Amino acid sequence: MTRGLVRYQENRDFHFVTFSCYERKPLLRENDAYALFERSLETMRLRYEFVVAGYVVMPEHVHLLMNEPKEVKLATALQALKLSVSVQMGRVRFWHKRYYDFNVYTSDKRVEKLRYIHRNPVVRGLVTEPGDWEWSSWRHYLTGERGTVEIQSEWTSGRKERKVVETHVSEARRGAPKG
């Protein structure tokens, strides 16, 4: 976490989080490393029960838009995520120790941070369009398809609501008399 800044962690608010590889080295530049990070993020998302609204994995840093974990502090979940990747990559010094954390209180700020996240590979000159960068949540927002990391958005909330309704309807039909 950035020194000297006050961070508020209440009500499972959203946070825009950035953390970098050790000495800003491009340790995530290979497809295997990107994929490993995504799998680790999904594992930690499930373990610590936090929501990911957006992310991008860059060669030397990561941006996440996530809410606070259900039972632990944000720092604990991020530490576990970073440790998981470090161990799997076989490097003791993989990540910079600290991270940047910005509290996201409004939907306008959430949209702003999502745009920043998805445009980052374009701004850095890695691709010409956000959809060309495979290692982000952009495709979810573009197509609604689920990738390795489950993203919470209008797409998924709508799907979950439909699934609940379909389950209740099918259960009601099973108990209904035929005729």
Among 74-78, 107-111, 136-140, 171-175, where is mean pLDDT lowest? 171-175
Q: Which range has the worst mean pLDDT, 9-13, 37-41, 58-62? A: 9-13
23-42 burial, b if ≥16 CB within 10 A, otherwise e?
A: eeeebbeeeebbebbbebbe
Percent of the chain past pLDDT 90, that is, above it, reads 69
Q: Which amino acid is at 86?
A: S
Residue 149's Cβ-count burial label (10 Å; 0-12, 13-18, 19+) is: buried
The confidence score (pLDDT) of residue 11 equals 60
Query: How far apart are the two ends of the chain, measured CA to CA in Å?
Result: 64
pLDDT of 4: 53
Q: What is the pLDDT of residues 102-127, one digit of tens each?
A: 999 899 999 999 999 999 999 999 99
Say which range, 22-26, 30-34, 62-66, 154-158, has the weakest mean pLDDT. 154-158
pLDDT of 87 > 90? The answer is yes
Do residues 52 and 114 make contact, with C-beta atoms less than 8 angstroms apart? no
Contact 146, 154 (CB under 8 A): no
pLDDT number for residue 178 = 45
Which pLDDT band holds residue 145 (cuts at 50, 70, 90)? confident
Whole-number Å distance between alpha carbons of 19 and 2:
10
Q: Is the pLDDT of residue 162 over 70?
A: no
pLDDT number for residue 156: 54
Beta bridge partners of residue 57, listed in sequence order: 62
What is the pLDDT at residue 48? 95
In CATH terms, the fold of domain 14-152 is Alpha-Beta Plaits (3.30.70)
98 compared with 161, residue with greater pLDDT? 98
Whole-number Å distance between alpha carbons of 152 and 72:
20
